[in-house]
Amino acid sequence: MKPILLDQPEYVHPLLRREAEFQEACRSGRLKPRELLERYGKLPPIEGGSTPGSGYTVTWTAQTLTSATARTMVGLATGANTPLQLVEFSLSGDATSGTLLIELVYGTNATNPPGTNSVSFTPLQMRGPVQTMVSTAAVAWTAGNEPTVLTALKRWRFPWPGGPFTLQSPLGREANSIPTTATSGKFIGFRLTSSQAVSNCDGYLEFEEG
């Protein structure tokens, strides 16, 4: 069988040839962005990119959920002038039937901030340069003592039994906290409501700061 040589035009797929032309036009600068968009349907790539901040995890284990009762399981309060980004969230549990409602919530941090009516947790650093944390974290708020004032931004309904439920934020579209006093978004976390009682709920939240 004759080998296919990519440097021979008759063997190059039209899409590959068009992409090569686009890359060459970007490198040479002979076409303006508007002309590139009109001819190739896309703009030149942006050079560089954002540098990830230091990454941390907050974990919990063997926590209970009371049937049909909302409970904030993990939350973070943003430090001054240092927003944080949610990267990944995961949980599992031992319920054998029913569903679990998972809500991404923002809060004003007005009452019951991390460490009040909840279990304080020192985030575990897993990547990035070592730095002093300015955010505070907690897990397992007690019944009837939810942080306030909460607003649900996103919701998912997860069937029992099953799991783990894992959510990864698309790069560049992570939920960010808002480091302004008394603004919804200074607190960010996840609230759980199970239709059936859960004896053992385990999970983690991964985030970046800086």
Is position 4 within any domain?
no
Q: Is residue 32 part of a domain?
A: yes
20 within some domain: yes
**Site of tokens 């959510």:** 167
- Tell me the pTM: 0.75
The more confidently predicted of residues 137 and 162 is: 137
pLDDT single digits (tens) 118-130: 999 999 999 888 8
What is the domain count for the chain? Answer: 2
21 plus 113 within the same structural domain: no
- For residue 3, being part of any structural domain is answered with no
Q: What is the pLDDT of residue 37?
A: 72
Mean pLDDT, residues 104-129? 94
Same domain, 97 and 19: no
- Of residues 185 and 189, more confidently modeled: 189
> Which of 5-9, 14-18, 57-61, 199-203 comes out lowest in average pLDDT?
5-9
Query: Based on the domain organization, do 21 and 120 belong to the same domain?
Result: no
- Taking the C-alpha atoms of residue 116 and residue 92, their distance in angstroms, rounded to an integer, is 25
Classify 29 in phi/psi space as left (phi over 0), alpha (psi -120 to 50) or beta: left
The CA distance from 71 to 66, in Å, is 9
Residue 45 included in any domain = no
Q: Does 29 fall in a domain? A: yes
Domain membership of residue 28 as a residue range: 9-40
Which pLDDT band, with edges at 50, 70 and 90, does 2 fall under?
Answer: very low
- Assigned domain for 31 exists: yes
Residues 112 and 84 in one domain: yes
The pLDDT of 34-45, averaged and rounded, is 71
> How would residue 5 be classed by pLDDT, with cut points 50, 70 and 90?
very low
Identify whether residues 81 and 17 lie together within a single domain: no
Residue closest to 190 by CA, chosen among 62, 102, 79, 115:
102
- Asked if pLDDT for residue 197 goes beyond 50, the answer is yes
Query: Would strands 124-127 and 71-77 be described as parallel, antiparallel, or unpaired?
Result: unpaired
Alpha-carbon torsion, ordered 130, 184, 86, 81, to 10 deg: -20
d(CA 39, CA 35): 6
Instruction: Give the range among 22-26, 65-69, 98-102, 119-123 with minimum mean pLDDT.
Output: 22-26
Check whether residue 23 and residue 71 sit in a common domain. Answer: no
Residue 2 forms part of a structural domain: no
